[in-house]
Each structure stands twice: as C-alpha cells, then as structure tokens.
Structure 1
Amino acid sequence: MPQTRQADRHADRHVDDAARVVLPAPRTPDPREAPALGWGVIAPGGIAASFVEALRAHTEQRVVAVGSRDAARARAFADRFGIPGAYGTYADVLGDARVDIVYIASPHSGHFEQALRAIEAGKHVLVEKAFTRNAREAEQLVQAAREQGVFLMEAMWTRFLPHIDVVRQVLDLGLLGEVRTVTADHGQFMNPDAAHRLFAPELAGGALLDLGVYPVSFASMVLGPFASVTTVGDKAFTGVDGQVSIVVTGESGAHGVLNTTLYARTPTTASISGTRARLEIEGDFYAPATVRLISRERELLCSYVPAQREGGLCYEAAEAARCIAAGRLESDLMPLDETLRVMHVLDGIRRDLGVTFPGE
C-alpha cells in the first residue's frame, strides 16, 4: 500500500520503540446498534444455524422466515429458533412481505439460481462464500442486483471482524514497512466420502471454493489485484480439487503463499511480513483471532486479543443492515468488484488444475 512520509515516521516511532507500541483499536461498530431488518434464510443447514444463533445472541436483527425444499426440515429449524415463517419452497420465503433481506446458505451450486430469484423478487441478498461456482455466474448476479437496485454482498465474514480492522489499520499506517510476504492456509481433514458435499462435483465441491477462498480473499485484501498466480495441486478421487498450493504476486512485487487441502488439518494461520515488522494472526485466522505485532528481531511488540470469539457471523449481518439503512447497494468492506476479482482468480486456479463442475 502506498505510504506517506508521515506514515513512515509513524511506523518508525511505533515499531522501533517497543515500550510504546500499541496496536490500533478496532473501529468495528457494535452489531447491536445496526438497524433491525427482517431476514429470510434459504437452506437451513449448519452454517444457517450458526448465522441465526449469532444474530439472536449479538444483534437486534429479526429472522422471520426460513425455506427448504423439505417442509419438515424448515419447520424443525423454525421451531428450534422461534422463527414465525417456515416454508417448503424458497419462493414462499421470497413472497413473504416481512422479509427485507435473504441469506443464501446453500451449497455453492445453488447460490446463483437462488440469489438471482431473490434479486428478481426485489429482496436484498447476502450470499455465502464462495459467492458462486464461477465468475460468469457472479457477474450475472452483480449486474442483476445493480439493475434491480437491491443490496448484494458476499458473506465473506472475515472481512467484517474486528481483528481484520486492526490489520487494515496497521497496513494503512505503514507499521510493517513495505509488505513483502503474505502467508495463509486453510486445511481440514475430510473422510473420503463421495456423498459428502466437499467431494461432490455436482455441489461444486473441493477444497478451493469452501476453504481456499479464505486465504485467497485474505491475500487479495492485503496485496490488492494479483499480478500473477501460480498453482500446484491435485484432484480428489471424485474429480474435485483435493489440495492446492498457490503463489501470487501483488502489483508491488510482494508474494503471497497460500494453501488449502481436504487431506489434513493445517494450522489455519496467516501472516503479513514487511521490511520493519510482521503481523501474525493465530488460527483460525478467518475467525475472531489474536493478532501479534513482531519486530525484525522477533520480539513481541504488542497484541490484539478479541473481546468476542463466538458468534462472529453477526458482523456481516450488521454490515448489511447498516448499508441497506443508509441506501447503499454494496459494502465498502467487501465491494462487489472485489468479489468478482476473487472469483476470477478461483476460476483461473481451477483451470490450471483441470477442475470443472457439471453444467459449467
């Protein structure tokens, strides 16, 4: 990121004098202060349950409807969380006048069609990451939302968390000096089961879209648009990507070293190393996490420890509510053009690996 002389002096003062170093406090607004909206949930699975729990515990948002292709499943979810509307079709959720915004929590393969129907119904939309199967679908959604005049955002929850705002401020202040290297990984061990959604090509499975999107999005946030992307990886037994290692370069020449895998539980940490100092984000870096500022001499200068570690999905919902109340159709923290840029990178990585999904 470009630095002014003032930022350089600020960085020298704070990094060279360990006794005085204090990481900036997050500027993230209290999620409870966000204007309350009526939310409809599409696809009541595990991530939907975590989302609703976070809203109930940490916001004033109201979940008013849930839809599933299985009416009994929708009713069970509604009963569990005290949701007044339970529907056996997604169309019924979109037809509910109490619903201001729809949260799409289905597998990646369903995002495009479900989000498009919601946009066409005039609803605001929050779409789980990865946004769609590919950039072509993402571009169509963005165009539709802009034409319809509704809010649309990728639910890349990491971008809205307080510790990531600390990271942004550190970069803006130039405390690390010139950024040279970014690292991030996200790997989980998954039993090789063809019925599991992450191994299912028809559900747009694989490590990259579900897990690897976190390291790629993080590197994009830090480095900006990539000047180059180099990929090494292999396919799982079903033909989806099983493990991927990626080296990217930013326009400044900085490198990003990223990894994702379905074969092992990795540290899921991230770091940003500069000419003056480095930031280390503990695992899981994409969730509320401790951030440490380390000097060139490997001395711990200071740390940021999150006050809240549970319910982090509340921050993305609060951001959406604030934007909608202000009449904004996208978020400055996760702009639609940034989502499109990341989707194009993911497309290129899959091309390199020879991974395609049915119907692409």
Structure 2
Amino acid sequence: MSRLNGARATAERTGARVNVAILGAGRIARHMADTLNLMAADPRYARLVAPYAVAARDKERAAAFAAEYHIPVSYGSYAELLADPDVDLVYIATPHSLHAKQAIACMRAGKNVLVEKSFTANAAQAEPVLAVARETGMLCAEAIWTRYMPSRAIIDELVAGGEIGEVRSISANLCYPVSGKARMTDPALAGGALLDVGVYPLNFIDMVMGGHGETAVSRIVTSMTPYEPTGVDAQNSTTLYYADGTMAVSTSSMMVASDRDGAVWGTDGYLLCRNINNVEGVDVYGADHALRRHVEVPAQLTGYEYEVAAAANAILDGRIECAEMPHADTLRIMRLMDRLRGEWGLRYPFE
C-alpha cells in the first residue's frame, strides 16, 4: 500500500510528496519527465510531487532516460517498478493496447495510476480497469490534458455566461501528419487517427456539452478513410446530433495538418478556440462577426502539470478519480469511440 494513501493533512504535515514513476520511455514519456522536473523546481508544485523513477523493457534505455532527466531510479522491467514501495503514482506512457493490463497490474501492486489517453483500446478493457480502482481504492485517472487545463474553465464560463446566447452547434478538428509512426498504423496497437488524435475533438465537444450521457446523442453520422494496407482509420469525420437539437462535428486525421480549431456557435455569437489540443486563446465574436474580445490562457510549464497536480491532490485526498476527468466521462468517451468504429467496421485483432 502506498505511503500516501492517508489524508492530505497528514501528508502535508510530514512533508511527504507524491513520488511519480514513468512506465515507458518513449516520446510522450519524455514530455512528462520534463514536466516533472519543472514542477519540482516550481514553488507551486515543489511540495506536491517528485520525479522518482522510470521503467522500460531495456535496462540501458531506462538508465539513459533517467540520466538525461535526472530521475533518481531506473528499472529495466516493469515488474521491478511495481515492487518498489516508494512509488506512489505511475504515469503509463505506452501504446493504447497495453494500458488496461498495465494499469490493473499497477493498482494491484498498490500503485495509483495516471493513464495516458486513449485510456484503453475499448470500453470492454476500460470497465475492468475502473472496477479494480474501486476494489483496491487506488486512484485511476485518464491523462487527457485538455480536461485539466485552465482553458477548460475559461470556455465553460464563457458558455455559461450567455455571451454567445444558446449553443446550437460545435465544430472541432485535430489533424497531424503522423502516419509514419508504426504505433499509428498498427491495428495490434490500436492504431489509427481516432484513439490518438480524434479523442481530442470528441472530448472538446463533450466538455462544451457539459458531459451529457450517451442517451443525449440521438443520432450519429460517421465515416472514415482506411489507411492502406493495415485498414486502421487514416482520417474520419463524425456528426453528433443531440436530443436538445445541438449538432456537433468532429474531424481527425493522421495524414494532414489542420488549423486544429474548435468553434462553439450560439444564437448571439460564437467562440473560436485556437488549437483544441492545447488552447492558446479564445476569441469571442458577436452575431455581427465583430470581435468582442480575446481571452488569454494563463502561461504554463508544459501543460501536463495540471493533470499531474490533479492526480497528486486526489491521492492525498484518498480519492479514486479526478473531478476533472471522472470515470463516467472516461467510459462515455470510450463507448462513443467503440460506436464509431462499429459504424466503420473497424475491429482490432485482439477484440
């Protein structure tokens, strides 16, 4: 059992910090390592989290990673990481298809987990992961950074404030030319645009809609272009029709670059959000298309710090989920992506 499962007051009194370990040593793991170092040097986070360990399937690779990012401990196997009693939180930075098995192993070993998006490959994998969180009392959170960023609260407040009237339509896209990466095209790794980049516009829409349940979506029209020769989705487009009359369009691709914009259209005006993957600013327009104002997004370390801080605070408070991305929201998005792939006839070999 982690030494930080007690109340926050106890941890703060003893000066304990949440020791974070990184499982995996790829590109996204490097972003997290950089984030943890910046947090450790920042007065806002220095007493909350500490970069502690990294594990990879190769001992030399793990050691080189640890040396580069000044991480105290490195392991050449995931099993060694799970056996370390000083690990409090494991950030899982491996391909989608491995998340479920690894998250369950971590929690059963008494480790809290922050699981990189897409949380799992499908809802059938996500459900037992969340069940183990309830069984063990370990924190289990999805690391989709846009859910934790200050930009989310900014957009929520603008929508709730009524400045653009009643929201009736939403559009969001995210496209990067990343088809050259093996994990993106391999169906055995749950490759394709949807789980890697498409999850962001779907989450953008879901956040604007206030996390309505699946029943709020009355109809879906969706299609994709397969990537040859593996058959995963190279690019896709989905229109969601909500029971209240709102229509939302999500587009993603791993073949091209896009403007990455998110738009929220209302009866009295609209919002333009620059880069839904890391909102840089929000422009508020009136119905006459005149710019009313520009809302800046606060400066950040890397953007990952918000999800790490949320997870650490949840651990100290003895919670098994983060309020910013509760288990119900994770499951809703996983089920939606399952439904889209069902419409496309896209199944992974392990399903």
Is TM > 0.5 for Structure 1 vs Structure 2?
yes
Note if contact 2:201-2:276 (Cα within 8 Å) is conserved in structure 1.
no
Deviation at 1:95, TM superposition (A): 1.2
Residue 136 (structure 2) pairs with residue 144 (structure 1): no
Aligned residue number for residue 283 of structure 2: 292
Note if contact 1:38-1:63 (Cα within 8 Å) is conserved in structure 2.
yes
C-alpha separation between the residues in 2 aligned to 1:227 and 1:313?
34
Q: How do 1:146-225 residues align onto structure 2 when only pairs under 5 Å count?
A: 146-191=134-179, 193=180, 196-223=182-209, 224-225=212-213
Gaps (5+ residues) in structure 1?
1-34
C-alpha separation between the residues in 2 aligned to 1:348 and 1:90?
33
Q: Which amino acid letter does the alignment assign opposite residue 198 of structure 2?
A: G
Note if contact 1:40-1:101 (Cα within 8 Å) is conserved in structure 2.
yes
Q: Which amino acid letter does the alignment assign opposite residue 290 of structure 1?
A: G
| Secondary structure of residue in 1 paired with 2:71 | coil
Note if contact 2:232-2:346 (Cα within 8 Å) is conserved in structure 1.
yes
Give the counterpart of 1:44 among 25, 29, 32.
25
Q: TM-score of the superposition, structure 2-length normalised?
A: 0.89
C-alpha separation between the residues in 1 aligned to 2:69 and 2:150?
27
Residue 309 (structure 2) pairs with residue 318 (structure 1): yes
Note if contact 1:289-1:309 (Cα within 8 Å) is conserved in structure 2.
no
What's the Cα RMSD here?
1.6
Aligned residue number for residue 54 of structure 1: 35
Note if contact 1:288-1:309 (Cα within 8 Å) is conserved in structure 2.
no
Give the counterpart of 1:70 among 58, 62, 65.
58
Q: Deviations over 1:126-150 (max 9, x none)?
A: 0000000000100110111011111
| Secondary structure of residue in 2 paired with 1:66 | strand
Give the counterpart of 1:127 among 115, 118, 123.
115
Deviation at 1:309, TM superposition (A): 5.0
Gaps (5+ residues) in structure 2?
1-15, 40-44
Aligned residue number for residue 234 of structure 2: 242
Deviation at 1:294, TM superposition (A): 0.8
Aligned residue number for residue 88 of structure 1: 76
Q: Deviations over 1:186-241 (max 9, x none)?
A: 111135x5x61100111110000000000011111112233322211121011111
Deviation at 1:52, TM superposition (A): 1.6
Note if contact 1:38-1:98 (Cα within 8 Å) is conserved in structure 2.
yes
Q: Deviations over 1:152-203 (max 9, x none)?
A: 1100100111111101112232332211111100111135x5x611001111
C-alpha separation between the residues in 1 aligned to 2:258 and 2:279?
17
C-alpha separation between the residues in 2 aligned to 1:57 and 1:306?
19
C-alpha separation between the residues in 1 aligned to 2:110 and 2:344?
38
| Secondary structure of residue in 2 paired with 1:348 | helix
Aligned length: 324
Cα 1:272–1:288 shift into 2, 3 Å: closer
Q: Deviations over 1:28-72 (max 9, x none)?
A: xxxxxxx83101110111111101211211332212111111111
C-alpha separation between the residues in 2 aligned to 1:56 and 1:320?
16
Q: TM-score of the superposition, structure 1-length normalised?
A: 0.87
C-alpha separation between the residues in 2 aligned to 1:289 and 1:36?
31
Among all aligned residue pairs of Structure 1 and Structure 2, give the percentage whose two residues are the same amino acid: 36
| Secondary structure of residue in 2 paired with 1:138 | helix
| Secondary structure of residue in 1 paired with 2:350 | coil
| Secondary structure of residue in 1 paired with 2:87 | coil
Residue 96 (structure 2) pairs with residue 105 (structure 1): no
C-alpha separation between the residues in 2 aligned to 1:257 and 1:129?
21
Q: Which amino acid letter does the alignment assign opposite residue 133 of structure 2?
A: A
Q: Which amino acid letter does the alignment assign opposite residue 190 of structure 2?
A: A
C-alpha separation between the residues in 2 aligned to 1:78 and 1:306?
32
Cα 1:36–1:276 shift into 2, 3 Å: farther
Note if contact 1:278-1:295 (Cα within 8 Å) is conserved in structure 2.
yes
Q: Which amino acid letter does the alignment assign opposite residue 52 of structure 1?
A: A
| Secondary structure of residue in 2 paired with 1:232 | strand
| Secondary structure of residue in 1 paired with 2:241 | strand
Deviation at 1:250, TM superposition (A): 2.5
Q: How do 1:344-355 residues align onto structure 2 when only pairs under 5 Å count?
A: 344-355=335-346
Q: Deviations over 1:74-108 (max 9, x none)?
A: 11111111111111111111111111011000010
Q: Which moved more, 1:132-141 or 1:90-99?
A: 90-99
Note if contact 2:118-2:196 (Cα within 8 Å) is conserved in structure 1.
yes
Q: Which amino acid letter does the alignment assign opposite residue 201 of structure 2?
A: P
